Amino acid sequence: MDNDSLKDFILQRVPEAEIVQGTQYLQATIPSEKIRAILTELKSNPQTSFDYLFCQTGVDWPQHMEVVYHLKSTTLNHMVVIKAKINSRENPEIDTVCDLYRTAEFHEREIFDLYGIIFKNHPDLRRLLLTDDWVGYPMRKDYVDPVNMIAY
Amino acid sequence: MEDVITKPLESQEYFINMGPQHPSTHGVLRLVLSLDGEIIRKVEPHIGYIHRSIEKMCEHDSYQQIVHLTDRMDYLSCHINNEAVCLGVEMGLQLEVPERVKVIRTIIGELTRLSSHQLWWGVMGMDLGAITTFLYGFRDREMITDIFEETCGARLTMNYNVPGGLMFDIHPNFQKRTKDFITHFKKKLPEYDDLLSNNVIFRQRTMGIGKLSKEDTISYSVTGPSGRASGFSCDVRKHHPYSAYDKVQFKEILRTEGDCFARYQCRIDEMWESISIIEQLIDNIPEGSFKAPTKAVIKLPKGEFYQKVETARGEFGVYIISEGQKSPYRLKFRSPGFSNLSALNHMAQGCKIADLVAIMSTIDLVIPDIDR
């Protein structure tokens, strides 16, 4: 599927999506509540069949949080970037996708660990890289640690 | 009395720690094994012992500095990791690097892959109880590290790439020594098969162990030779060619069995392909400059850039979000080891502890690559 029809495909299902053509991939920003519905559709629909989640990461913006999903279809060889916009920075929550993509289990634990985004219905949401008693979420822009970080 | 004899023995699940200091984890990785007798019911990896938060450090560093951090991750694919960042920055700057740079990067990238696979082969044999392979692997790897040392002064963390090209030109001896190595190694690689691949004990310990189906491979996003052993065509060099990979002929090694032996055989076959790639390029290094001019302070335009490359372990991705500053706003490293490790629990269920050692060897973990 080319980028134009992919754009229509997403807009039909999520009318409020903001879609821009990035330097490489089509980037669709959608509200975080819709993420499960749209990823289920993108994965199961034979027209898109995005079965390969090759990168999942969080981004901390000044006003909101974002979870970025890089998807590829191994059969149709097209790619898309889905960004889930989470409006709350204090209490970020989003649905898990680790039953759709098993690799998300580890990635979501890492995002929870570093950004504090809570993935609802994740089977085992614990800190992954840091110790269990770590306070705070280090990849957030407002994180301060007077011992381990040098102020720039 | 009869009751006692016919009643099956009661078993109870128990936990043991494997690691963080265990010779076959090749670094500080702790696995909590849930066991029923000697049968593994669950493997729970605990990672992060050498987490340095490289991604956070990158948010304060210039793009030239970031290159230096990447070879501290997967130190066996250091050159290819450097290349990923450089290609990402060059994509952002829309900078066309000279042909000479592309070819040299490809040759050194393949030499890096060879040296990584040689080390993996030696260490894998040692994990399964064969000391000789370790010596053979390191003997051949020594020649490659010597070439690296002469080229850029370092044997492990090379930092030979800079955004725009290479740090300096190749040494006058480079072509001759590389060709010498290829002639030497083409004679030695069949020995690898004689020593390990055709060994009955080795085959029994790897065939049919740690199976991963193609669907699970894609779902867990297991890439590299581990993914291709299950039939998942994921070679970035084929699907998204970078540097000079579109100019060379090579096969993507695919197997369907998905067990430890298939993963092993994939890497051995990949070594032959790497040799062939180097042979095609080594006499055809174009003349020209070794670096395209760049500004001293690199500022990428506002936007997002995702560059993926094929390291010795799989797909390595660099995701740069730039706000037009001299440092990225966010930089994510999608490391192959992280995803490959997440499939370990699935592969090891129902195996024995000795099989787990074989599985871990064949997915070729490098711990700094996982922890970052």
Give the nearest partner residue to B53 out of A22, A128, A138, using CB atoms. Answer: A138
Looking at chain B from residue 86 to 145, which residues have their Cβ under 8 Å from any Cβ of chain A?
91-92
| Closest chain A residue to the Cα of B29, Cα to Cα | A129
Q: Report the pLDDT value the prediction gives residue B297, as an integer from 0 to 100.
A: 86
A63 lies within 8 A of chain B by CB: no
Q: What is the mean pLDDT of chain B?
A: 88
- Cross-chain Cβ contact B221/A70 below 8 Å: no
Give the Cβ contact number of residue B34 at 10 Å: 16
Q: Report the pLDDT value the prediction gives residue A23, as an integer from 0 to 100.
A: 79
Q: Report the pLDDT value the prediction gives residue B4, as an integer from 0 to 100.
A: 62
B232 lies within 8 A of chain A by CB: yes
Q: What is the pLDDT of residues B242-290, one digit of tens each?
A: 888 888 888 888 888 888 899 999 999 999 999 999 999 888 888 888 8
Residue % of chain B over a pLDDT of 70 = 98
- For residue A89, give both structure tokens: 């920075």
Q: Decide: B80 and B318 in contact? Cβ < 8 Å.
A: no
Q: Report the pLDDT value the prediction gives residue B2, as an integer from 0 to 100.
A: 63
B221 lies within 8 A of chain A by CB: yes
**Crossing angle of the two packed helices B353-362 and B260-282, in degrees rounded to 10:** 20
- Cross-chain Cβ contact B219/A102 below 8 Å: yes
Q: Report the pLDDT value the prediction gives residue B1, as an integer from 0 to 100.
A: 57
pLDDT reading at A3 higher than 60: yes
- For residue B100, give both structure tokens: 């000479």
Q: Report the pLDDT value the prediction gives residue A124, as an integer from 0 to 100.
A: 87
The Cα B231–Cα B229 span in angstroms is: 6
pLDDT, mean of residues A50-75? 89
Per domain, the residue ranges of chain B are 54-371
Alpha-helical regions (H) of B153-259: 174-192, 200-206, 214-219, 224-228, 236-239
Q: Report the pLDDT value the prediction gives residue B165, as an integer from 0 to 100.
A: 87
Q: Kindly state which CATH superfamily the domain B54-371 is placed in.
A: Cytochrome-c3 Hydrogenase, chain B (1.10.645.10)
Looking at chain B from residue 303 to 342, which residues have their Cβ under 8 Å from any Cβ of chain A?
303-306, 308, 315, 317, 319, 321, 329-330, 332, 334, 338-339, 341-342
Q: What is the mean pLDDT of chain A?
A: 86
pLDDT reading at A8 higher than 70: yes
Band (A87; pLDDT cuts 50, 70, 90): confident
- Cross-chain Cβ contact B218/A129 below 8 Å: no
A51 lies within 8 A of chain B by CB: yes
pLDDT reading at B5 higher than 70: no
Under CATH, which number does the domain A3-88 receive? 3.30.460.80
* Structure ipTM: 0.89
A76 lies within 8 A of chain B by CB: no
Band (A152; pLDDT cuts 50, 70, 90): low
Shortest alpha-carbon distance between residue B371 and chain A (Å): 7
Q: Report the pLDDT value the prediction gives residue B3, as an integer from 0 to 100.
A: 65
Q: What is the pLDDT of residues B85-131, one digit of tens each?
A: 999 999 888 888 888 999 999 999 999 999 999 999 988 888 888 88
Looking at chain B from residue 14 to 43, which residues have their Cβ under 8 Å from any Cβ of chain A?
none
CA dihedral of residues B141, B142, B147, B151 (deg, nearest 10): 100
pLDDT, mean of residues B326-333? 90
Per domain, the residue ranges of chain A are 3-88
Give the nearest partner residue to B218 out of A51, A70, A81, using CB atoms. Answer: A51
pLDDT, mean of residues B125-148? 88
**Cα–Cα distances in angstroms (integers) from residue B305 to residues A66, B267, B360, in the given order:** 17, 30, 33
Q: What is the pLDDT of residues A106-135, one digit of tens each?
A: 999 999 999 989 998 888 888 888 888 888
Q: Which residue, among B87, B222, B230, B304, would best test binding to A if mutated, counting the most A CBs under 10 Å from its CB?
A: B304
CA angle, corner B164, sides to B163 and B167, nearest 5? 75
